[in-house]
Amino acid sequence: MTKVGIAGIGFMGWIHWLAYQELSGVEVVAIATPEEERRAGDWTGIQGNFGPPGAQIDLTGVKTYENLQSMLADPDLELDCIDICLPPAMHCEAIQAAAKAGKHVFCEKPLALNLQDCDTAVATCKEYDRQLMVGQVLPYFTEFQFAREVIASGEYGKLLGGSFKRVISDPQWLTKFYDPNVIGGPLFDLHVHDAHFIRLLFGMPTGVYSCGRIRGEVVDYCNSIFRFEDSELAVTCTCGVINQQGRPFTHGFEIHLERATLQFDFQAFADTPESMPLKVLTEDGKVHRPELGDGDPVFAFKREIEEVTRAIAENRPSDILNGALARDGIQICQMQSEAVKSGQFVSAADVVK
Ligand SMILES: NC(=O)c1ccc[n+]([C@@H]2O[C@H](COP(=O)([O-])OP(=O)(O)OC[C@H]3O[C@@H](n4cnc5c(N)ncnc54)[C@H](O)[C@@H]3O)[C@@H](O)[C@H]2O)c1
């Protein structure tokens, strides 16, 4: 049985909790969160933009702490893994504390808000021989999982490129959303999902062209073209915030293979969601519509945590969730940020100086 302690019971702590309840072989034995009512099981005040509303929770058998430090300091608590659901600016310090206490780490995205903190987090886990996994959940969403598996199967030949999109309305309830030192803005909070997915499918870009708008100190919206060692790979991405409140969220992709194109689009309008379910358009003129289920986002978190549990139980790092890939995702966001701000092509080497 893998024993987990969750640090931070907010929206993601709640979603992770729900996923753990549906899994065997893993158990939440402790939580650490500053809100007294949540330590008493009243999670009704939790707010998020998907999944069921927060509820009253029975915490019988679950030890509770005010913060991660006191959870790690309890000599009577046996833990294999700390699941960090704290705000991004706290990730690096929390990861280091967990690894130094001998725990494996599963940390929500983004790994950190800058490359230096990412490198520190990865290096500390390596030094203490602990696994670092980052909650880059997008590859576990059904359409993205399907795309990964179809590409890996080689059924439709070589991967040629693709375009990706992730656009939201202004998240006005997140007062620190555009603060580069707290949430990081649209690139580090939102686009990091596609940055990681692009890295996973195509490898590390050698550089990026990007143009867009700035809000305060962060990129608000941008269009990016990625360059790779293979100069024929054509990969683009659109991401950010646009000025309307009628469509809080949209994402999608078109992925090009030698003998097929994968197409998917989802739009959450304020009144109702609309989806263009994933299609496989093949070279023979056919349109295939694979059956992918209802796309419940909580199910993606369940699959993600299954992989975390597997990686710990088998002591074999995850090909998808490992810290090094998440670190590269942040490097990509940093390249795009600098490209938009400078108006210049930015290479991967430019941002590690
Ligand atoms: N994978 C996804 O789709 C997804 C979606 C939303 C958020 N996230 C990520 O999850 C993480 C948490 O986001 P959230 O939406 O759950 O935030 P949240 O504000 O709902 O919850 C954060 C929780 O951290 C704790 N916390 C805050 N400040 C603290 C402090 N100073 N000391 C100790 N504990 C403190 C509190 O319990 C708080 O409820 C972020 O990294 C965010 O980017 C991921």
Q: How far is the CA of 9 from the centre of ligand 1 (A)?
A: 7
Q: Is the CB of 11 under 6 A from ligand 1?
A: yes
Best CA proximity match to 187, nearest among 157, 167, 201, 209: 167
Q: Is the CB of 185 under 6 A from ligand 1?
A: no
Would you list the domain boundaries of the chain? 2-135+302-320, 139-295+329-351
Residue 295 has pLDDT above 90, yes or no: no
Q: Is the CB of 34 under 6 A from ligand 1?
A: yes
Instruction: Using the atom order of ligand 1, give the atom closest to the CA of residue 137.
Output: 1
pTM of the predicted structure, to 2 decimals: 0.96
Cα–Cα distance measured from residue 41 to residue 60, given in angstroms and rounded to the nearest whole number: 9
Cα–Cα distance measured from residue 346 to residue 1, given in angstroms and rounded to the nearest whole number: 46
* C-alpha distance from residue 233 to each of 153, 201, 261 (Å): 19, 11, 14
CATH code linked to domain 139-295+329-351? 3.30.360.10
* Residue 58 token pair: 């029975």
pLDDT range class, residue 50, cuts 50, 70, 90:
confident
Q: Is the CB of 86 under 6 A from ligand 1?
A: yes
pLDDT range class, residue 353, cuts 50, 70, 90:
low
Q: Out of 9, 11, 36, 303, give the residue to mutate to test ligand 1, the one with the largest number of ligand atoms within 8 Å of its CB.
A: 11
For 116-141, how does the pLDDT look when each residue is reduced to its tens digit (9 = 90+)?
999 999 999 999 999 999 999 999 99
Q: How far is the CA of 93 from the centre of ligand 1 (A)?
A: 14
Q: How far is the CA of 11 from the centre of ligand 1 (A)?
A: 6
pLDDT range class, residue 47, cuts 50, 70, 90:
confident
For 66-90, how does the pLDDT look when each residue is reduced to its tens digit (9 = 90+)?
999 999 999 999 999 999 999 999 9
Kindly indicate whether the domain formed by 2-135+302-320 is annotated with CATH number 3.40.50.720: yes
Q: How far is the CA of 229 from the centre of ligand 1 (A)?
A: 36
Q: How far is the CA of 266 from the centre of ligand 1 (A)?
A: 25
Q: How far is the CA of 88 from the centre of ligand 1 (A)?
A: 7
Q: How far is the CA of 82 from the centre of ligand 1 (A)?
A: 14
Instruction: Using the atom order of ligand 1, give the atom closest to the CA of residue 88.
Output: 41
Q: Decide whether 2-135+302-320 matches 139-295+329-351 in CATH topology.
A: no
Residue 20 has pLDDT above 90, yes or no: yes
Q: Is the CB of 84 under 6 A from ligand 1?
A: no
- Give residue 224's identity as a one-letter amino acid code: S
For residue 197, give the H/E element and its range.
helix 192-202
Instruction: Using the atom order of ligand 1, give the atom closest to the CA of residue 68.
Output: 33
Q: Is the CB of 241 under 6 A from ligand 1?
A: no
Mean pLDDT of 185-205: 97
Q: Is the CB of 305 under 6 A from ligand 1?
A: no
Residue 91 exposed, middle or buried by CB count within 10 Å (0-12, 13-18, 19+)? buried
Q: Kindly report the average pLDDT of the chain as a whole number.
A: 96
Q: Is the CB of 9 under 6 A from ligand 1?
A: yes
Q: Is the CB of 135 under 6 A from ligand 1?
A: yes
Residue 62 has pLDDT above 80, yes or no: yes
Task: For 302-328, give one letter per residue: b (16+ CB within 10 A) or e.
Answer: bbbbbbbbebbeeeeebebbbbebbbb
Q: Is the CB of 237 under 6 A from ligand 1?
A: no
pLDDT of 352? 82
Q: Is the CB of 68 under 6 A from ligand 1?
A: no
Q: Is the CB of 16 under 6 A from ligand 1?
A: no
Cα–Cα distance measured from residue 32 to residue 341, given in angstroms and rounded to the nearest whole number: 39
pLDDT range class, residue 296, cuts 50, 70, 90:
confident
